[in-house]
A and B are shown apart, each in its own frame.
Chain A
C-alpha cells in the first residue's frame, strides 16, 4: 500500500457516474417517462438530491484517453486501441518501407526489361486496386490458418497492412526515382562509381522525400483501414492495453466500429470522440509528410 497512514481516516473521492446518469443529465434520455426502464424513478430522485448537494458535477472524462475498452461507456477509453494501432503500424512500417523502397530501386534501376519484370509490374499496379477485405481474407487463410500466428495480434495486422501499403509505396517510390535526372546517374558513373554506388550515394538521397511522402500516405491509409483487420480477429472486445506485437489488440478504426455498434446511448459520444482522435492522427501524419517533403526537398 502506498499510503498506509490513510487507513482509518475519511477521504472524499470523485467517481465517474454511470453512463445513464450522464445521459440523463445531458438530456439525451427523458427523465419523466415512468416505464422507460433504463432509469428507475428512485434513481432520478437520488440524482436530483446529489445535484442539490453539489455532489454531482459535469467533468471532462479523461478515462477516454487512458483506459482500454470497457462495456461501461464511462470507463471505456481508446488508449488500448491507440497502442494497438501503434504496434500494427510499427510492424507495417518496419516491413513495408524497406521492402517497398528496395523493390522500387530494383525495378527502376537494376531490373532487366523482360517478361518477368513486366508481370511483376502489372501485378503491383493491380494489387493497389484490390479491395482491402481481400487482404484480410488472405491474412486469415495464410497467416492465421497456415502459419498459425496468433489471432487479433498487431503482428498479423501489420503483415496484412504491409501487403496493402506495399503497392502504394512502390508506385510512389518509382515515380520519385524516375524524377531524378539521368544526368546525375551519368555524372556518378562517369567518375567511376558502380551502379550501386550511384544509386545509394546520389539517386536515393534525391528520391527520398518523394519516397517518404508515399510511405506516410500509405501509412495513413493503413491507419484508417478496418476491413482487413476484421478478418484476422482484431475486432475482438479487448480490455487490456497490449504490451507487444503478439498481444491481443484492436485498432482505432475498429474501436470506432465496435463502439458505433454498441447499444448504450453514451457510446455515441465515445464514437464521435474516437473519430475526432483518428482524424487528428491522420492530420498529424499528413502534416509530417508535408514537413518532411519541404525539409528534404532539393533542387537540381
Chain B
C-alpha cells in the first residue's frame, strides 16, 4: 500500500525550460461536485506531439477539452487554474472562447464531417472567419488544407460530393483538413483513430508526423503503440491526476512510476 499523496504526485519532467507552447498551472476541473482533474501542472512543447495516455475515465479527454474551452459547453463544468498559451491565460475573463477555438483545431473521436459537400466542410471555417477575400483564395485554402491532410488526391474529382459519403478514414482526414483550414497553432486530437482500421490509422499517424513540423499537437490515445510511434512526449494520467510525464522514449523504456510501468506493460488498465 502506497500513500495516496505519493501515487498522485507528478514525476518526470512536467515543466519544460525552453520551447514551451502551453503551460498549465494548478488546473482543476469539476463536473458538478465531482472532481475530474486534480491540481495538474504541465508544459506542452511547441511543434511536437504530446500524447496523453491512461485508462478510461482518467480525465485525459477532459483535460484535452480544456485547451480550447470545449468544456464551457458542458453544463456544471467548472475549470480553475491557469492554462497559458503564448503568454495568454485562456481562462482569463477577457478571452473570447469562440475566437480561441478558431486558433485551436480539434479532431474528435468519431469522424464528424458536416452533412455538406467535401468542399463546404473545409471552406466553412475560413468563411466564417473571413480568411478568404474571394472564391479563388477560398479554393486555395480548401485545396491546401486537403493536401496537407493527405486527402486531396483521393477526392479531387468529387469535391461536391457529400463529406459523409467518404470512408471512415477519409472522413477523419477530412475533419483534420477542416481543423487546419483555419490555420490553427495547436491541434487537439481526441482518440482520432479509435474508430478506424489499421490501414486508415497508419495514414493518420503518417499525417500527424507530417503536421508536427508546423503545428503543436496533443493527442489522446488508448493505444500505447500509437503513442510510442507518433509522440515526442507522453503524459500518463490516472484518476484525474498526472502521474508521469516525459520524453516518450523514457516513459516507455524506463518509467519512473510504478503505475506507469504497470500500465504500459499491460498489467493494469
State yes or no: do A and B come from one complex. Answer: yes
Name A residues whose Cβ lies closer than 8 Å to a Cβ of B.
113, 181, 183-195, 197, 201-202, 206, 298-300
Instruction: Tell me if B101 and A189 are in contact (CB < 8 A).
Output: yes
User: Quick one: which of B75, B105, B115, B164 contacts A190, CB cutoff 8 A?
Assistant: B105
Q: Is the interface of A mostly helix, strand, loop or mixed?
A: helix
Across the A-B interface, give the 6 residue pairs with the lowest CB-CB distance, nearest first: A192-B102, A191-B125, A183-B112, A190-B106, A300-B115, A192-B101
What CA separation (Å) do A191 and B181 show in the bound complex?
A: 9
A-B contacts counted at CB < 8 A amount to: 68
Is B33 part of the binding interface, using a Cβ–Cβ cutoff of 8 Å?
no
**Interface residue count for B (Cβ, 8 Å)?**
28
Instruction: Tell me if B114 and A188 are in contact (CB < 8 A).
Output: yes
Instruction: Tell me if B128 and A197 are in contact (CB < 8 A).
Output: yes
On chain A, the residues within 8 Å of B175 by CB distance are 187
- How does the 8 Å CB contact mask read for B138-155 relative to A, with 1 for contact and 0 for none? 000000000000000000
Instruction: Tell me if B110 and A190 are in contact (CB < 8 A).
Output: no
A202-B114, A206-B115, A299-B115 in contact; A191/B73 too (CB < 8 A)?
A: no
What CA separation (Å) do A184 and B105 show in the bound complex?
A: 15
Interface centre among A183, A189, A194 (most CB of B within 10 A): A189
- How does the 8 Å CB contact mask read for B156-181 relative to A, with 1 for contact and 0 for none? 00000000100000000001001101
Instruction: Tell me if A201 and B124 are in contact (CB < 8 A).
Output: yes
Instruction: Tell me if A299 and B101 are in contact (CB < 8 A).
Output: no
The smallest beta-carbon distance between A56 and chain B, in angstroms, is 65
The smallest beta-carbon distance between A201 and chain B, in angstroms, is 7
Instruction: Tell me if A191 and B178 are in contact (CB < 8 A).
Output: yes
Is B129 part of the binding interface, using a Cβ–Cβ cutoff of 8 Å?
yes
What CA separation (Å) do A187 and B175 show in the bound complex?
A: 8
On chain B, the residues within 8 Å of A193 by CB distance are 98, 124-125, 128
The smallest beta-carbon distance between B165 and chain A, in angstroms, is 10
Instruction: Tell me if A189 and B73 are in contact (CB < 8 A).
Output: yes
On chain A, the residues within 8 Å of B114 by CB distance are 184, 187-188, 202
On chain A, the residues within 8 Å of B102 by CB distance are 191-192
